[in-house]
Amino acid sequence: MGPGPSYPRPHLWREAWSSLDGEWEFGAGATQLFDRRINVPFCPESKLSGIGERVGDVVWYRRRFDPPAGERLLLHFGAVDYWATVWVNDVEVARHEGGHSPFTADITGALRSHDNVVVVRAEDSLTDRTIPRGKQYWEEEPEGIFYTATTGIWQPVWLEPLSARNVTHLELTPDLPHRFVDYFVDAGAIVVVRFDGVEVGRSAGAPRGRIPLERVVPWHPTSPRLYDVEVTYRGDRLETYFGLRQVEVRDGQFWLNGEPFVQRLVLDQGYFPGGLLTGGDDDLRRDIELAKAFGFNGARKHQKAEDPRWLYWADRLGFLMWSEMPSFFEYTAQAEGRLLAEWSNLVPRDRGHPCVVAWVVSNESFGLEGTLPEPRSTITQRRYRLTQAMDRSRPIISNDGWEHSRSDLCTIHDYSPPADLKRRYHRLTTALDGSAAGHPIYDEGFEYGGEPVIVSEFGGLRQAGSGGWGWLEVPDEEAFVRAYGELVDALIEPGPVEGFCYTQLTDVQQEQNGLLTAEREPKVDPELLRPLTEKAKRR
C-alpha cells in the first residue's frame, strides 16, 4: 500500500490526514478584508485559483475546520511565497520565511473542539530581487526567460493528527555495494523493510543501526524497484520507501550502480497554463511520462523546488532529477543568507528520493553578475560546501553553465547551431575555451580536473510562425526532427561530452521552444525524436 493520489508528503506518510485544500476566504492589502474566494493551493495569479490576476504584495486567507481525532494536531504547508504568518483561533502558531520550502505548526494548544479558524497572511514583494525567486519575474508582465510571479500559498495545506508519542525523526541511508540500509529513528521504534511484500530486514529497536538486506535489487531508470519501509512506535505507524542505487563521478564519467551512464535530460521549468507553478497529481505524473516518451531518462528541474508528488512519480516511474535551488537576482548578504537557509530545508526534504542524482546550487551566476571572480567563487564554494555537508552521496554543481568553482560536474550551456556544437565538442580543449556562451567555464583560480562534461542546456528549437521566441528557429516539423538529430549527434559523437540536457520540455508563456505546447500537446511526434535521444554514445 502506498500514499493516496493526493497525499502531500508521499515519501513519509501516515494513514490519517485531512486536506485543507479547496475554497478559502481571501483578501489582499494591509488589513484582513476577506471579500473574495480562492481555490487553494493555486496562487491568485493563476486561472485555477478562481482569481487569475495579481492582487498585490500582501494576501490573506481564512477557512474553518473541525479537527480530526488525535492527541496532537500538526498543520502543514507545502510552500507559501514568501513570508507567512499563521494564526489558529487568533493564536499565532507559525512564522516562516522562504517561498519554496515546507513548514509545520503544532496547533494542539490553540484548538477548540469544533469550528476552528485558520488565518494565513502571506507577503511577497514583487520588485524585491534579493528574494530567491527562480523564474518568477519582478515586473508585472512576464518577459524573456522570466514568467508570471507567484504570491502566497502554492502547494498543499493539510492536517496530520498524531498520538502523544510518535515518530519524530527518521533517516534512511541505503548502501547498494554493501547490501544494507542504515537508519536513525526514535529510540524504541521498530523499522521493517519489505520487498515485493516480503520482509527482507528488521531493526532491533535501537535508535541507530544497520539493517542487512536479504534481497538486493538495484533501482535504475529502466527498472525502478523500491523497498517499502514500515516504522512503528507506541501505536504510531509511519510508512516510507527507498531505492538501492549508487551514484559516482570518476574517470571523466557519471556512473550509476557501478556502470557508466549517459544522462539524457530535458530542461523542465514546471509551469502549467492553469496553475503556474502548481500542477495536479495527474499533471505531474504526465509530464514525466511525456518526457520518457521522447527518450529522456531524467530532467533538470530548472529554478524550481518541485512539488514532492513529482519526485514520488519520478521514483516510481524511473526518472532521474537534478534538483536546483531557485536564485535571487540582486546580491546582498541578506539575500545570500536567505538562499542558504532555504536550501538547508530543501536538501533534507528531497535527499531520500532515489531519483535525485545531482544538486545544482547556482545557475549562470544569477544574482552574482558583475561581481569579481574571487568573491563570486567564494560564494559558490560556500554553497557547495553547505550542500556537501548535507549529502555526500551525489555530485554537486557549483554554478551550472559557466564560471564554476569547485564542482563535481563540468556543465556547459550552449545554444549554438548543430555545426558549431560539432566543432566545439569534438575536443576537450575547445569544449572548455569559453566560446559557448562568452563566459569562462571556470572562475579564476579554478580549472578542469577530470569531471564529466555535460552540456546542460542546448537546443531550444522553435518552429517558425508559432509565436513567442526560441533559441533556434526551424521552418517545419521535418526540419525540427533533422535539427534535433544533428544537435544530439554533435554531443554523442566521440569527444568529452558524457551527457546532455535539452531545452526544453514545454512552452512557458512567451518562451515557445518546448517539445510540448504549454497545454502538453506534442509539437513533434515523440516516436520520431525518441530514437534520436536514445542514440548510444560513440567513443
- Domain for residue 21, yes or no? yes
pLDDT, position 31: 86
- Domain for residue 6, yes or no? no
- Domain for residue 231, yes or no? yes
Q: What is the pLDDT of residues 93-138, one digit of tens each?
A: 999 999 999 999 999 999 999 999 999 999 999 999 999 999 999 9
Q: What is the DSSP string of 60-103?
A: EEEEEEPPPSSSEEEEEES-EESEEEEEETTEEEEEEE-SSS-E
- Domain for residue 391, yes or no? yes
- Domain for residue 464, yes or no? yes
Q: Are residues 144 and 83 in the same domain?
A: yes
Q: How far is CA 240 from CA 216, 227, 258, 306, 510, in A?
A: 18, 9, 26, 19, 40
**Torsion sign (Cα): 315, 317, 321, 325:** negative
Q: What is the pLDDT of residues 376-390, one digit of tens each?
A: 999 999 999 999 999
Q: Are residues 333 and 258 in the same domain?
A: yes
Q: What nine digits make up the cell of 213? A: 538486506
pLDDT, position 2: 65
Q: At what angle do helices 373-390 and 333-350 cross, to 10 degrees?
A: 30
The band of 205, judged by pLDDT with boundaries at 50, 70 and 90, is: confident
- Domain for residue 538, yes or no? no
pTM over 0.95: yes
Q: What is the pLDDT of residues 383-435, one digit of tens each?
A: 999 999 999 999 999 999 999 999 999 999 999 999 999 999 999 999 999 99
Residue 366: count of CB within 10 angstroms of its CB: 20
Cβ atoms of 54 and 44 within 8 Å: the answer is yes
Is 42 exposed, middle or buried, given 0-12, 13-18 or 19+ CB atoms closer than 10 A?
buried
Q: Are residues 263 and 204 in the same domain?
A: no
Domain count, the chain: 3
What CATH number has the domain bearing residue 417?
3.20.20.80
pLDDT, position 1: 52
Cβ atoms of 313 and 357 within 8 Å: the answer is no
Q: Are residues 121 and 270 in the same domain?
A: no
pLDDT, position 227: 98
pLDDT of residue 166 exceeding 60, the answer is yes
Q: Residue 512: is the preceding peptide bond cis (ω within 30°)?
A: no
E strands, 261-389, are: 263-268, 298-301, 320-324, 356-360
Q: Are residues 182 and 199 in the same domain?
A: yes
Cβ atoms of 516 and 506 within 8 Å: the answer is yes
Q: Are residues 176 and 122 in the same domain?
A: no
Q: Are residues 386 and 477 in the same domain?
A: yes
Whose CA is closest to 42, among 259, 305, 271, 318? Answer: 271
pLDDT, position 142: 94
pLDDT, position 76: 98
Report CA 269 to chain centroid distance, whole Å.
Answer: 9
- Domain for residue 384, yes or no? yes
Domain limit, last residue, from 162, 194, 217: 162
What is the SS3 assignment for 107? coil
Q: Are residues 353 and 480 in the same domain?
A: yes
* Burial per residue of 475-513, b for 16 or more beta-carbon CB atoms within 10 angstroms, e otherwise: eeeeebbebbbebbebbbbebbbbbbbbbbbbbbbebbb
Domain limit, last residue, from 141, 162, 183: 162
What CATH number has the domain bearing residue 232?
2.60.40.10
Q: What is the DSSP string of 194-234?
A: EETTEEEEE--S-SEEEEE-SS---EETTEE--EEEEEEET
pLDDT of residue 6 exceeding 90, the answer is no
One-letter amino acid at 71 equals: E
Q: Are residues 292 and 378 in the same domain?
A: yes
Q: Are residues 474 and 385 in the same domain?
A: yes
Report CA 214 to chain centroid distance, whole Å.
Answer: 33
The band of 32, judged by pLDDT with boundaries at 50, 70 and 90, is: confident
Q: What nine digits make up the cell of 379? A: 560564494
Q: Are residues 151 and 277 in the same domain?
A: no
pLDDT, position 180: 97
Rounded to whole angstroms, the Cα distance separating 78 from 154 reads 8
Question: How many helices (H) and strands (E) are present in the chain, helices listed first?
Answer: 8, 35
What CATH number has the domain bearing residue 23?
2.60.120.260
Mean pLDDT estimate for the chain: 96
Domain limit, last residue, from 211, 242, 273: 242
- Domain for residue 460, yes or no? yes
For residue 225, give its domain range. 170-242
Q: Are residues 68 and 119 in the same domain?
A: yes
Residue 471: count of CB within 10 angstroms of its CB: 18
Rounded to whole angstroms, the Cα distance separating 152 from 126 reads 12
Whose CA is closest to 127, among 270, 330, 302? Answer: 330
The least confident of 113-117, 156-160, 202-206, 496-500 is 202-206
Q: What nine digits make up the cell of 180? A: 544494507
Whose CA is closest to 240, among 352, 347, 324? Answer: 352
Q: What is the pLDDT of residues 293-312, one digit of tens each?
A: 999 999 999 999 999 999 99
pLDDT, position 467: 81
DSSP 147: B
Rounded to whole angstroms, the Cα distance separating 345 from 357 reads 18
